[in-house]
């Protein structure tokens, strides 16, 4: 029996199983990721994170969601990995390479906070990407329900390492996102599927957000969705260039820097516990169950 160490971490309740593969190979396939993510028989997590060596950054962060799909970016996980690398290296700033590019992490002003430079958002219809051309992605022609009385309509779309679609509503609790989310995630408008959010402006610089994450479902927090909603609101002149996004798991502070267009996301991380797991035994049990 060979036990593999892991860390269980979370950012605002969005939780991760983190494995370090910088010194030894640690292969994962779709079935094993699903088995590890299973909350009854595995570790249980929203995403699985594998830390890998990188020639371009302090670490490469590979991300799978609980369905076994590899994804490009995860803001909450970046804060967790940022904390691990800041503690390990003793640096003031560390770089975390992801499928969406290299992100820079620093300690936040508040104890327990990490600030991440999430880079520059992309607004072009081909960059998001969309199936149809739109010259203005602040609001696109997409609606749910009857043409004359749609339930939801005119969302903002943006790519912050992954595609996001935000519907602006008066009350995020008035809609069943668990029912609408899967349909909208897989809408033909989104060839790579999309994360679907409901956003509600409560004060000039305060936004409530509920998120359906592609392949993962309703989530307590999504860092890239918070960034996407913030810059979408700013483009619509709903807010100033610094806002607090209130997710079910807690708040994130988002600033969109004017001088270079970079998004800065600041919020907490948490190390829940450290443990060991027999991956071979878990993989065998998963094969037997299929």
Q: How far, in Å, CA of 101 to CA of 161, rounded?
A: 8
Q: What is the pLDDT of residue 22?
A: 97
Q: Which of 80, 105, 165, 222 is catalytic?
A: 222
> Where do the domains of the chain lie, and which CATH numbers do they carry?
4-119+270-289 (3.10.310.10), 143-261 (3.10.310.10)
Q: How far, in Å, CA of 94 to CA of 62, rounded?
A: 16
Question: CB pairs under 8 A, 24+ apart, for 169-172?
Answer: 169/198, 169/199, 169/200, 170/200, 171/200, 172/198, 172/199, 172/200, 172/208, 172/209, 172/210
Q: How far, in Å, CA of 210 to CA of 203, rounded?
A: 16
Taking Cα atoms as reference points, which of 68, 58, 67, 61 lies closest to residue 7? 61
Q: Is 74 a catalytic residue?
A: yes
The full DSSP string for 208-248 is EEEEEETTTEEES--HHHHHHHHHHHHHTTSS-SEEEEEET
Instruction: Please state, in angstroms and as integers, the Cα–Cα distance from residue 233 to each residue in 3, 36, 128, 137, 241, following that order.
Output: 47, 37, 17, 12, 9
What phi and psi values does residue 178 have, to the nearest 5 degrees? -65, -30
Q: What is the pLDDT of residue 288?
A: 74
Residues of the chain with pLDDT under 50: none
Q: How far, in Å, CA of 105 to CA of 107, rounded?
A: 7
Q: Is 222 a catalytic residue?
A: yes
Q: How far, in Å, CA of 30 to CA of 8, rounded?
A: 20
Q: Which of 45, 74, 80, 227 is catalytic?
A: 74
Q: How far, in Å, CA of 6 to CA of 17, rounded?
A: 7
Q: How far, in Å, CA of 256 to CA of 231, rounded?
A: 7
Q: Is 166 strand, coil or helix?
A: strand
Query: Does the bond joining 230 to the residue before it have cis omega, within 30 degrees of 0?
Result: no
């Amino acid at each position: 029996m060979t036990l593999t160490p892991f860390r269980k971490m979370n950012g605002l309740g969005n939780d991760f199983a983190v494995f370090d593969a910088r010194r030894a190979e640690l292969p994962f396939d779709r079935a094993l990721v699903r088995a590890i993510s299973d909350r009854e028989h595995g570790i249980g997590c929203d995403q699985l994170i594998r830390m890998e060596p990188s020639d371009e950054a302090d670490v490469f962060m590979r991300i799978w969601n609980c369905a076994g799909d590899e994804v490009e970016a995860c803001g909450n996980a970046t804060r967790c990995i940022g904390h691990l690398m800041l503690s390990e290296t003793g640096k003031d700033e560390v770089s975390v390479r992801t499928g969406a590019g290299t992100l820079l992490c620093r300690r936040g002003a508040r104890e327990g906070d990490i600030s991440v430079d999430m880079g520059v958002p992309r607004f072009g219809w081909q960059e998001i990407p969309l199936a149809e051309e739109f010259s203005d992605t602040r609001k696109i022609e997409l609606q749910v329900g009857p043409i004359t009385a749609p339930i939801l309509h005119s969302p903002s779309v943006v790519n912050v390492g992954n595609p996001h679609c935000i519907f602006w509503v008066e009350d995020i609790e008035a809609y069943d996102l668990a029912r609408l989310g899967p349909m909208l995630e897989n809408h033909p408008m989104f060839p790579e599927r999309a994360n679907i959010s409901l956003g509600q402006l409560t004060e000039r610089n305060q936004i409530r957000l509920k998120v359906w994450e592609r392949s993962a479902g309703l989530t307590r927090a999504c860092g890239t969705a918070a960034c996407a909603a913030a810059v979408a609101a700013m483009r619509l002149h709903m807010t100033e260039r610094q806002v607090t996004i209130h997710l079910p798991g807690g708040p994130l502070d988002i600033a969109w820097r004017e001088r270079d267009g970079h998004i800065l996301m600041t919020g907490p991380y948490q190390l829940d516990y450290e443990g060991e797991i027999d991956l071979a035994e878990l993989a065998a049990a998963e094969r037997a169950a299929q």
